[in-house]
Amino acid sequence: MAIAEDLCARTFSRHTLPEEVAAACPPPEWTVDLGAQLRLRGDFTRNQRLSDGSFAPGDDASQFLQRSRLSASLENTALGIALRAQGQWYGRWSDTGDRSDFDLYTAYIDWHDASGLGLPVTLRLGRQDFSYGSAFFLGHNDFYNGLSWDGLKATIAPWSDLHLDVIATTMAPLNGADPDILLTGIYASGVLSPTASLDGYFFYSEGGYSLFHREFEKADPGQEWFTLGVRLGGARSGFDAEFEPQFQWGSVENVAGDGHDVTRAYGGHIDLGYSFVLPWYPRVFAAYALGSGHDDIDSGRYGEFHGNVFNDSYLVGDTGVVADLSGVTVGTVHSSGMHVAVGGVSVHPADTFELSFDVHRFVAFDSPSGFSSDLGFELNLVATYHPSERVSVLAGLNRFCTGRFYEQAAGAGGDIQYAYLQTQIEIN
């Protein structure tokens, strides 16, 4: 009898048990879990437009944001089934307009042992979000209202130190101007040692955001991207490192609209850090990130990197002036691709308090003729405080020192100053 009870406790699907054992199992029990999250933030800028993060000389702006999420889950471990949902109210109130939206952020069902044969396969069907590695390729855009996807994810774990996610999804329309994007592919994660991992991924995406062919902006809902990436990360003897190159190919509509350009692009990043065994636990870090650019609209090739447009990466800074490694646009002038160098330090004066300072240097991979490649640099001072386990306070003082490119493209100079104060409360 003890053996039967043990099997009942450890088995997700009853039909995989012998009949006499299944009959002895107690009725499946359902557990309910409820939770909530409240976030409040104020943003204040000078020489920046908060609606899209762009450079706006002479403009001062402020906004108040709130994000409230309510979550519920219903789970039965005996049946291997879990249902989870999270609703969201997201509001932005600013000098230039207000926004208040109610969305279903996530809603999915998990089915463990989906094969029915005791194989390590879990299916997740519904609206869900993804975040892999350091979120260089795919994150959930957590600083604002998030990024979620509608579709299917199958997780296969043939060994304890290897699992694969197979994804087939479309982007959920959480914002009015969001494009229709299909994203499908596979992400594999393997453990090399207790402190090192190796990931590999291959994705296909169709549709996306507007593309820039130099000064020409192109809306191409049929654009196709294949992205192949590898991520190696680990830590040892106080050092930590991460290396993640990406290669992209596919096709996008050309400027004339009478055909397609072949896509050949590349990018990635390398991060290094060292933590000292000293009071306040200081850590110094440095990073380099690259996104290739596009310099010839008549060659039949498109070389601008779009491999981190769904990211939460710290590499592009806090202000939002640089959104990703594809380049920046000022007015009607577009610099293509990006080199980013990062350096910084963080300390923990107390267990509940962290202070970090970093510098980001931005240089265009390729700029239009007559325009400088100097985009400028960004300074970020960020403080994080946890007065309790469920409450966090985040404050940032940031300055983006615009380079020569901004002065030429906008016809005016001036640094962007950005500050924010955020409080988040978890209830569960």
Full pLDDT tens readout for the chain, 428 residues: 444 445 454 444 444 555 555 556 666 688 999 999 999 999 999 999 888 888 888 889 999 999 999 999 999 988 889 999 999 999 999 987 899 999 999 999 999 876 666 678 899 999 999 999 999 999 988 988 999 999 999 999 988 899 999 999 999 999 877 888 999 999 999 999 999 999 999 999 998 877 777 667 777 888 999 999 999 999 999 999 999 999 999 999 887 777 889 999 999 999 999 999 999 999 999 999 999 998 677 778 899 999 888 877 899 999 989 989 999 999 889 999 999 999 999 999 999 999 999 999 999 999 988 999 999 999 999 999 999 999 999 999 999 999 999 999 988 888 999 999 999 999 98
CATH number at residue 235: 2.40.160.100
CA 386, chain centre distance (Å): 23
The reply to whether 8 falls in a domain is: no
Spatial separation of the C-alpha atoms in residues 260 and 47, rounded to whole Å: 38
Are 94 and 76 spatial neighbours (Cβ–Cβ below 8 Å)? Answer: no
pLDDT of residue 118: 65
The reply to whether 261 falls in a domain is: yes
Write out pLDDT tens, residues 390-427.
999 999 999 999 999 999 998 888 899 999 999 999 99
Q: Count structural domains, the chain.
A: 1
The reply to whether 14 falls in a domain is: no
Number of helical (H) and strand (E) elements in the chain, helices listed first: 3, 22
Q: What share of the chain is helix, strand, coil (3-state, %, to 5)?
A: 5, 60, 35
8-state DSSP, 310? B
The reply to whether 9 falls in a domain is: no
User: Domain range for residue 248?
Assistant: 30-427
The reply to whether 11 falls in a domain is: no
Are 116 and 124 spatial neighbours (Cβ–Cβ below 8 Å)? Answer: no
Are 199 and 228 spatial neighbours (Cβ–Cβ below 8 Å)? Answer: no
The reply to whether 35 falls in a domain is: yes
pLDDT of residue 331: 86
Residues in the chain, overall count: 428
| Region at 8 (left for phi over 0; alpha for psi -120 to 50; beta for the rest) | alpha
8-state DSSP, 259? S
Spatial separation of the C-alpha atoms in residues 92 and 70, rounded to whole Å: 18
Are 408 and 382 spatial neighbours (Cβ–Cβ below 8 Å)? Answer: no
pTM: 0.89
Write out pLDDT tens, residues 56-88.
888 899 999 999 999 999 999 888 899 999 999
Spatial separation of the C-alpha atoms in residues 123 and 111, rounded to whole Å: 5
pLDDT of residue 237: 96
The reply to whether 72 falls in a domain is: yes
The reply to whether 3 falls in a domain is: no
